[in-house]
Structure 1
């Protein structure tokens, strides 16, 4: 140990103050800090971009009394620059932004997210697919067409059922099933020059990974499955206890992401970065609800220059315990108002939706729960430009909101709004007259 003046060292000692015992931690002020770099990789090629990057740092201390973390993990995540091919005459197509919540029925959204519901209806003029009850007490509304998340998302994102994607898709665990992303709306949009993004949390039970083996290739330009798999330790984080399940270090994940996102929202056509610091430190205090990271990824994506289609689906906030979704309300309100105040609704169709209602738990066992499971939340905000170009579209949508609708109709509606109706499915149910999926913007 080098000779140090008494004023240059804080000695470990016991202190008593107000009846409490405190211990001061020793720290040598002039001791140099050693930095070791191992296996560092330098990217020399210009234009090498990734969606996410993990940085690890290990610090060696002589003695730290267990109060200083010896490891630090950092994640740099964002939207990398990318220029998909685009025809000049199609550059002004409408953008599509879909925000989905797992296990969220229409009644559940109104009950647990009342502030967000009021903003959607009163401030954004959203059309709620609420249906109606006729004189014979028959209910017509937006309904599910199968059991589970995948059965709700297959029709919305591809216009097809799971069986149409693979004949053995309905086996409990079809791990030999690789889905073809070319059959999904992301590829259809990309071929027309769209930037596409697909963000989803809980990747260990992902919508297309729990029973299937995922996609043959990346389904969208920006796809954060690898990031969430790494951050969650492939799902082990979910089993590590309530205090770590929703949190990043000592700070709620959504606050880390929201704070950093606000600093970069004005950047256009550069990599919009957030850094989520995963610090192995002792958590002091109560539990943190860190549930809203995907919302800020949406804020990133909406600043990318060019046509955009983004689908974000959040599960951990509501999948296992629907009561938790109430913690999202204030942040979702802020996000929705940001979308409106930033002028995105001029040329962006916004859909806020659920895939189905709660599928298990005490509420699901009740009579009302059985009904709610089949009536997911679905709201649509039309772009101002579409309402000017098609003055009758809003009235038609409001009329169709009162009749029986399904996820197949949502897929056709999206293609109609994007002026890509030629790619809509022409499948007709046997003995039926109309196509299975109809645009809600047409009579």
Structure 2
């Protein structure tokens, strides 16, 4: 099993991963090395005891399973406010210093790529927003590190785990411990009905000192004693050998593994704002980031069930009644567990003999992706490698948390829940570790056969930022970035071209599900039997006339904008002259330092049209029946569209004539005008052009 062993790292930092062969474990090996994680071992004032199942489910720790969304939001707002209250940022008054800081940023990585498609082509007018919108200014904070000062450890760490999973027991330099013995015990449990209870299994087994060893357990606890005093206590996880996976399925030249890294409560706009190093790697390596990807439900479970199984639950209260077929409504209250479906992408992968991994960082012993709102967890592990016991143990027994605690500091990077669930700015803490991990993966050749997805389950729905206009949009438009290996691009050029086009189409979780199913088909060589298709694969053509009902997005989460009220229209109309001038200036600036030497723009003032997000979206309605929030809803941000004719002449005296569609964002409250996307153009003789500067490519090829 060297294919697993040599590629492991102490924390397998991928939420979902299932591959044709070893790529799943390659990925796990490169996310978040030990030196980037504060040790969460305890010192001598702690004790270690076996954990026994509770006498009743009511005795389990953790938040009440029935906590409603509003209560969760109120708790989150309180915690986020307490966190941000301690933050004080001094304003930089030196203009030159500000300019110097701005110049450091690589502006090109934030630009929209209009290859093959443009967002203005769609009949659904979904918003294109900017990461630094003035509407968000008061909500944005920068966190690049976790302050672990004050974390007292009497003794240093006596056990080290290398990235390949090897354990070394040894005394640190200048350690106060003079003599000690270490032993380990397997960690298990946390399956339904005792889903919040980790259990230590078997007898304590002694560990040698000063030797590199492999412990063939997925999860285990190590304790070290000096006489009867516990001087070290920690939990570990890694990829152990499993008979079912020997020998591993062959990774052929055209078979691709799939690894999905999910960061809780992360929108595309938020990702652009707080993950600059990671974003630069993604842009440099042709990750396709979806601009129209929209969530279908409020929280994590309702957004992940469509991805895993193409299904939903509570379809009436969650707005699916008239937009889905009844066969995809799952009665989780009756059946209780995702395992009852038997049609998930995990089931298919395991049927084909692929190694599977489910790494759900729970952030709290009572939470988990399918462990709340009446979900009762799993009666058996959902994948070959399942680490809930590890996380439950460190949260309940070692004082671990998503930040610093009395004895520890823990950054748990898997299905990222703890740091970002209730904070709009903590995402930035992950930027350096993720970008470094991606670079290591590239160096090791992991990306040659691995489809890598970096995504959010939804945007920020708890922090105060979600109450802003742009925040409501971010909450609905999750991050979705997909990397396809070059071999795939070369072998399936039409599928890849469709993926590129679909970046600017209205898409949802159901489409991602169908995409994963297609990848399973390609990787296994087995075409699935399909009774009814739910969603459209991103490898197929998604029509430009698609609406939210087509994409199975409930109306309260739909971002297709609507016509403003009469009063709102009048407010926007008052800015028409300025908006037209702004568009003309933008087009003129876009032609500078290009092949275009002359241009003429004629805007049709009668084409003036405005739109804004629905009142359901602006007021943050989570369930379609909760319409009382809509009363008194005020919308102050609008998108304004104008059309016209354009003529450009290149430096070789070649003239192109065409039409354009321009849109600007107008903030009536702050009186700001933004151009968030370049105008869509249609030139005669240069039909492939999407924006004005594309004419230079036609000119070059002529």
TM-score band, normalised by the shorter chain? Answer: 0.5 to 0.7
SS, match of residue 311 in structure 2: coil
Give the TM-score taking structure 1 as reference length. Answer: 0.64
Match of 2:426 among 324, 330, 355: 324
Contact persistence 1:105–1:357 (CA under 8 A): yes
SS, match of residue 72 in structure 1: strand
Match of 1:231 among 380, 394, 399: 394
Per the TM alignment, residue 152 of structure 1 is displaced from its structure 2 partner at its CA by 1.1
Q: Give the unaligned 5+ runs of structure 1.
A: 1-31, 62-68, 131-140, 253-289, 295-311, 428-434
Residue of structure 1 in register with 2:535 after alignment:
437
Residue of structure 1 in register with 2:261 after alignment:
99
Per the TM alignment, residue 321 of structure 1 is displaced from its structure 2 partner at its CA by 1.4
- Distance in 2 of aligned mates of 1:158 and 1:89: 26
Match of 2:311 among 137, 160, 164: 160
- Distance in 2 of aligned mates of 1:356 and 1:146: 8
Contact persistence 1:415–1:424 (CA under 8 A): no
Residue of structure 1 in register with 2:336 after alignment:
177
Q: Is 1:314–2:416 an aligned residue pair? A: yes
SS, match of residue 243 in structure 1: coil
Per the TM alignment, residue 204 of structure 1 is displaced from its structure 2 partner at its CA by 2.7
Shift of the 37–344 alpha-carbon distance from structure 1 to 2, 3 Å rule, reads closer
Match of 1:402 among 488, 491, 504: 504
Shift of the 221–89 alpha-carbon distance from structure 1 to 2, 3 Å rule, reads closer
- Distance in 1 of aligned mates of 2:352 and 2:289: 29
Q: Is 1:422–2:527 an aligned residue pair? A: yes
SS, match of residue 351 in structure 1: strand
Contact persistence 1:86–1:194 (CA under 8 A): no
The structure with the larger Rg is 2
SS, match of residue 393 in structure 2: helix
- Distance in 1 of aligned mates of 2:218 and 2:492: 37
Shift of the 86–385 alpha-carbon distance from structure 1 to 2, 3 Å rule, reads farther
Match of 1:50 among 210, 213, 217: 217
Contact persistence 2:419–2:426 (CA under 8 A): yes
Higher mean alpha-carbon deviation, 413-422 vs 141-150, is at 413-422
Residue of structure 2 in register with 1:357 after alignment:
459
- Distance in 2 of aligned mates of 1:379 and 1:160: 22
Higher mean alpha-carbon deviation, 371-380 vs 314-323, is at 314-323
- Distance in 2 of aligned mates of 1:127 and 1:34: 52
Cα shift readout 1:286-329 (whole Å, capped 9, x = no counterpart): xxxx42x43xxxxxxxxxxxxxxxxx411112112121111111
Shift of the 154–167 alpha-carbon distance from structure 1 to 2, 3 Å rule, reads closer
Per the TM alignment, residue 408 of structure 1 is displaced from its structure 2 partner at its CA by 1.0
Shift of the 58–204 alpha-carbon distance from structure 1 to 2, 3 Å rule, reads farther
Per the TM alignment, residue 40 of structure 1 is displaced from its structure 2 partner at its CA by 4.0
Number of matched residues?
Answer: 320
Contact persistence 2:515–2:538 (CA under 8 A): yes
RMSD: 3.3
Residue of structure 2 in register with 1:117 after alignment:
279
Q: Give the unaligned 5+ runs of structure 2.
A: 1-177, 185-201, 207-213, 315-326, 542-702
Give the TM-score taking structure 2 as reference length. Answer: 0.42
Shift of the 425–160 alpha-carbon distance from structure 1 to 2, 3 Å rule, reads farther
Shift of the 234–360 alpha-carbon distance from structure 1 to 2, 3 Å rule, reads farther
Residue of structure 2 in register with 1:381 after alignment:
483
SS, match of residue 400 in structure 1: helix
Shift of the 424–437 alpha-carbon distance from structure 1 to 2, 3 Å rule, reads farther
